[in-house]
């Protein structure tokens, strides 16, 4: 009898787990829009039969197919987590007990989406509506008559159905993007170079005679990377064992492979000059626009010293070849309207980059207009995504924000804070820096301070962050340094400073999705100093 009760209890528990699991899946499905479902279908094409995928209308339909093939169950939800991660539905991961970071950590051992499928999806994410029209025009002879393409993924699927595109033959993509968007050829080249690694026994990868490519790091899992580099260096008489032994003696387990790969990358980079990260194109006749928003006069306060920052930024970015436009004392509505105006400027097409500097009060993930109303930094930056601003597609977009990101009030002598006064400080949730930039390539966001903290501004000399940024740009651009190296030096410079009382410090923080190095061409004229 006792045994029977235990069996019944166990069965009830299993039913409860199954019910909870299906409820989770239904909730996730309800939060997926049509574009998300289309993306999931595409990423599952190597896992599920195309004939079954064609009948899919909702996320729940896909989940049923994955469960039927035993890819998904209550005990193992990682494949779904991977899919949600790849379509950037990061907020839904918590419903499965995952975070973006946890998924990233396990992708190397449990990831199922093939490098080929990843490459195609990454391309689709960069194809704007205008580019899609051009692609359809180029492929007229290959497309059914009067065929309407709802999205880039549908076009790629059609090319696969027709046998024009396979994991071993991507020539048609090269033909397309050589004409439509040469910058996107890098994604295809990266995939092809990774494919150039020949499989050996036990999934060890060995580089061809042409040498190791950085693309291997992107498309092979970490275990295979380690084996590849091990094999690669051993074949050339290098001592790999000392590196591996050092990592393990330091007590690393999951980090061993990461550490070893980074060490090996450094070694290979030193031996192969071809192993370098390319730079963004910055040799056009027009460098780009630099928009400066300088909010000084608020209803309840004045940001003294901000005009000094604005003058310095104008001087330095003009010296760097940008066309600088400055706007003073904008309300929250004015700021959004200004972003919409610059979003539609056709002259971006002939420029290499876009830079926006905002000097104002702020809160976590937002800045204030002079009407004391908040504007989300993410709202501002997303005006310039590839789809919203096609003229800047695949071009670097840099945003520098001088504003507090917390409510702490600092009032030492000669030092002011770029945060609101207590009366105008609403209760606000913290926003991580990564959430303030679009989840697509080619953005950089330089913040004066980390989330939750104040940033300092001298009422005569300007803010610590902007003044350090201007100094380091003038010092390091002539030396050929890239922007991330420059911002690292800015961090060091600001971190060394303290307020007059010796108790207040500040640490800037950059976030970026840049795919290449961003290097300003060295100006002919001397720095404005």
Alpha helices in 182-298 (DSSP H): 185-195, 215-219, 222-235, 241-249, 255-271
Q: Which own/partner pairs from 313-316 qualify as long-range (CB within 8 Å, at least 24 positions apart)?
A: 313/357, 313/466, 313/470, 315/470, 315/528, 316/470, 316/473, 316/474, 316/527, 316/528
User: Are the CB atoms for 498 and 505 separated by under 8 Å?
Assistant: yes
User: Are the CB atoms for 66 and 47 separated by under 8 Å?
Assistant: yes
> How far apart are the C-alpha atoms of 390 and 214, rounded to whole Å?
28
Select which of 404, 453, 458, 470 is catalytic: 404
For this structure, is 241 an active site residue?
no
> How far apart are the C-alpha atoms of 236 and 216, rounded to whole Å?
19
> How far apart are the C-alpha atoms of 184 and 188, rounded to whole Å?
7
Tokens encoding 169: 């033959």
The structure tokens 């092979």 sit at: 220
For this structure, is 272 an active site residue?
no
Select which of 361, 389, 453, 458 is catalytic: 361
Alpha helices in 252-394 (DSSP H): 255-271, 306-319, 332-343, 377-381
> How far apart are the C-alpha atoms of 425 and 362, rounded to whole Å?
10
Question: How crowded is residue 162: how many other Cβ atoms within 10 Å of its Cβ?
Answer: 12
> How far apart are the C-alpha atoms of 194 and 214, rounded to whole Å?
8
Tokens encoding 383: 């005006």
Which amino acids are annotated catalytic? 361, 404
């Amino acid at each position: 009898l006792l045994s029977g009760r235990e069996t019944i209890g166990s069965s009830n528990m299993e039913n409860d787990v199954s019910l909870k699991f299906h409820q989770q899946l239904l909730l996730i499905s309800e939060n997926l829009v049509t574009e998300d479902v289309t993306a999931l279908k595409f990423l599952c094409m190597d896992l599920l039969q195309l004939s079954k995928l064609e009948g899919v209308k909702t996320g729940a339909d896909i989940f049923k197919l994955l469960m039927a093939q035993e890819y998904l169950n209550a005990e193992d939800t990682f494949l779904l987590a991977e899919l949600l991660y790849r379509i950037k539905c990061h907020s839904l991961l918590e419903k499965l007990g995952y975070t973006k970071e946890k998924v990233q950590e396990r992708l190397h051992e449990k990831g199922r989406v093939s490098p080929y499928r990843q490459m195609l999806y990454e391309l689709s994410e960069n194809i704007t509506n205008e580019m899609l029209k051009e692609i359809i025009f180029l492929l007229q002879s290959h497309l059914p008559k009067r065929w309407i393409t709802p999205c880039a993924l549908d076009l790629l699927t059609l090319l696969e159905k027709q046998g024009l595109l396979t994991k071993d033959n991507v020539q048609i993509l090269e033909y397309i993007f050589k004409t439509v968007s040469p910058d996107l050829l890098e994604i295809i080249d990266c995939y092809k170079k990774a494919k150039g690694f020949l499989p050996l026994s036990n999934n060890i990868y060995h580089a061809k005679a042409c040498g190791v490519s950085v693309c291997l790091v992107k498309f092979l899992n970490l275990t295979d990377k380690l084996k590849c580099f091990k094999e690669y260096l051993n074949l050339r008489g290098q001592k790999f064992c000392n590196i591996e032994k050092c990592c393990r003696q330091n007590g690393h387990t999951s980090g061993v492979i990461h550490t070893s790969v980074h060490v090996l990358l450094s070694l290979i980079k030193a031996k192969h000059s071809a192993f370098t990260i390319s730079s963004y194109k910055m040799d056009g006749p027009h460098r780009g626009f630099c928009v400066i928003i300088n909010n000084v006069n608020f209803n309840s306060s004045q940001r003294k010293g901000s005009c000094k920052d604005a003058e310095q930024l104008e001087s330095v970015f003009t010296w760097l070849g940008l066309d600088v436009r400055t706007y003073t004392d904008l309300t929250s509505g004015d700021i959004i309207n200004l972003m919409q105006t610059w979003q539609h400027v056709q002259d971006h097409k002939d420029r290499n980059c876009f830079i926006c500097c905002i000097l104002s009060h702020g809160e976590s993930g937002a800045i204030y207009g002079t009407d004391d109303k908040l504007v989300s930094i993410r709202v501002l930056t997303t005006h310039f995504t590839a789809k919203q601003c096609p003229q800047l597609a695949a071009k670097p977009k840099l945003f520098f924000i001088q504003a507090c990101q917390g409510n702490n009030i600092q009032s030492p002598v000669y030092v002011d804070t770029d945060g609101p006064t207590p009366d105008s400080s609403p209760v606000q949730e913290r926003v991580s820096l990564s959430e303030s930039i679009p989840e697509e390539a080619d953005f950089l966001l330089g913040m004066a301070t980390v989330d939750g903290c104040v940033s300092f501004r001298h009422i005569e000399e300007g803010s610590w962050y902007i003044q350090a940024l201007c100094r380091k740009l003038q010092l390091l651009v002539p030396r050929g340094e890239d922007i991330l190296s420059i911002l690292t030096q800015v961090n060091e410079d600001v971190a060394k400073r303290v307020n007059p009382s010796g108790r207040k410090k500040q640490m800037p923080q950059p976030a970026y999705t840049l795919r290449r190095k961003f290097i300003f061409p060295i100006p002919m004229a001397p720095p404005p100093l």
